[in-house]
């Protein structure tokens, strides 16, 4: 069941085309403002487009649970409109995964102690962990994470990395990030956007060749042993 986008353009993106097969993982990279989040919203049907299909189905033409089971977008920030909703109540809203309980998802993210806390009172890092727990419970065929490491401390970032690296966690994962070291360690295929267009789409091995990094990042990053670091 491949996810396809065919020659999509708007005021930000230019002639975007690629295919992500079921079970494959992808990292989307690029500088601020190049259209990464815009692309994510097109892929998942928040921004309607007939250019996007999953097994021939256009996500934006599906509604409610049918689209929810197909593709899920996890934003970089938790927005809550009910100031009294608790963590457990929030997770109950999107619990479509019959193989994972709410208690188990809380345990995986080490946030069991937050179950009855009001979402509005969560810290930014706690909110990020809640979003990740909701993705696990949702378990869509394709899950798009937009900056999932935002606001996470080193221990929680390591926890997230372990979950994302685990091939049994979710079905197909798409990660938007600025964290090049995370992208390198995950080893997913890479899609790099520049000026709204796809400048690279291929393997992590090819992308993280130093000569290639020098061109794409103007010499600002380097491969140092087994890490990608910013030259300061």
| Domain boundaries, given as residue ranges, for the chain | 3-230
Helices 154-165, 124-138: axis angle to 10 degrees equals: 10
Q: For 3-230, which CATH superfamily applies?
A: P-loop containing nucleotide triphosphate hydrolases (3.40.50.300)
Label residue 168 by pLDDT band (50, 70, 90): confident
Whether residue 183 contacts residue 204, with contact meaning beta carbons closer than 8 Å, is answered with yes
Whether residue 160 contacts residue 135, with contact meaning beta carbons closer than 8 Å, is answered with no
What mean pLDDT is predicted for residues 8-27? 92
Residue 60: is its pLDDT beyond 80? yes
Residue 63: is its pLDDT beyond 90? no
According to the model, what pLDDT value does residue 144 have?
95
Distance CA 141, CA 68 (A): 9
Whether residue 30 contacts residue 37, with contact meaning beta carbons closer than 8 Å, is answered with no
Distance CA 114, CA 179 (A): 27
The long-range contacts involving 43-46, CB below 8 angstroms and separated by at least 24 positions, are: 43/3, 43/5, 43/71, 43/73, 43/142, 43/144, 43/174, 44/71, 44/72, 44/73, 44/142, 44/144, 45/71, 46/73
- Report the relative pairing of strands 3-8 and 16-20 from DSSP bridges: antiparallel
Give the list of residues 6+ apart from residue 130 with CB closer than 8 angstroms, or none.
78, 87, 90, 91, 109, 111, 114, 119, 122
The larger pLDDT score, comparing residue 96 to residue 65, is at 96
Q: What is the pTM of this model?
A: 0.93
Question: Where would I find the H helices in 44-153?
Answer: 64-70, 87-92, 102-108, 124-138
What mean pLDDT is predicted for residues 44-65? 87
pLDDT tens figures, 116-165: 999 999 999 999 999 999 999 998 999 999 999 988 999 999 999 999 99
Q: Measured between alpha carbons, how far is residue 173 from residues 6, 12, 136, 146, 155 in Å?
A: 20, 23, 11, 11, 22
Q: What percent of the chain stands above pLDDT 70?
A: 100
pLDDT tens figures, 183-208: 999 999 999 999 999 999 999 999 99
Cα dihedral 55, 61, 66, 69 in deg (nearest 10): 60
Label residue 57 by pLDDT band (50, 70, 90): confident
DSSP annotation of 108: H
Q: Copy the structure tokens of residue 142.
A: 């394709």
DSSP 3-state assignment of 180? Answer: helix
Q: How many CB atoms lie within 10 A of CB 31?
A: 13
According to the model, what pLDDT value does residue 224 have?
86
- Mean pLDDT for the chain? 91
């Amino acid at each position: 069941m491949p996810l396809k986008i065919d020659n999509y353009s708007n005021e930000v993106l230019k002639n975007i085309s690629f295919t992500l097969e079921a079970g494959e993982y992808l990292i989307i990279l690029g500088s601020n403002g190049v259209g990464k989040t815009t692309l994510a919203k097109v892929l998942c049907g928040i921004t309607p487009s007939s250019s996007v299909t999953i097994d021939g189905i256009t996500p934006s033409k599906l509604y409610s649970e049918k689209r929810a089971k197909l593709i899920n977008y996890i934003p970089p920030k938790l927005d809550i409109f009910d100031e009294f909703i608790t963590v457990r109540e929030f997770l109950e809203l999107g619990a479509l995964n019959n193989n994972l309980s709410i208690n188990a998802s809380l345990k995986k993210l080490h946030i069991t102690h937050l179950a009855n806390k009001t979402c509005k009172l969560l810290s930014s890092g706690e909110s990020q962990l809640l979003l990740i727990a909701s993705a696990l419970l949702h378990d869509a065929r394709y899950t798009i994470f937009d900056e999932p490491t935002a606001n996470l401390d080193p221990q929680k970032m390591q926890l997230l990395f372990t979950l994302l690296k685990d091939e049994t966690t979710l079905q197909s994962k798409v990660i938007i990030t600025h964290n090049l070291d995370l992208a390198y360690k995950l080893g997913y295929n890479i899609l790099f956007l520049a000026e709204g267009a796809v400048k690279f789409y291929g393997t992590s091995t090819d992308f993280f060749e130093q000569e290639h990094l020098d061109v794409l990042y103007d010499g600002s990053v380097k491969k140092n042993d087994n890490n990608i670091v910013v030259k300061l």
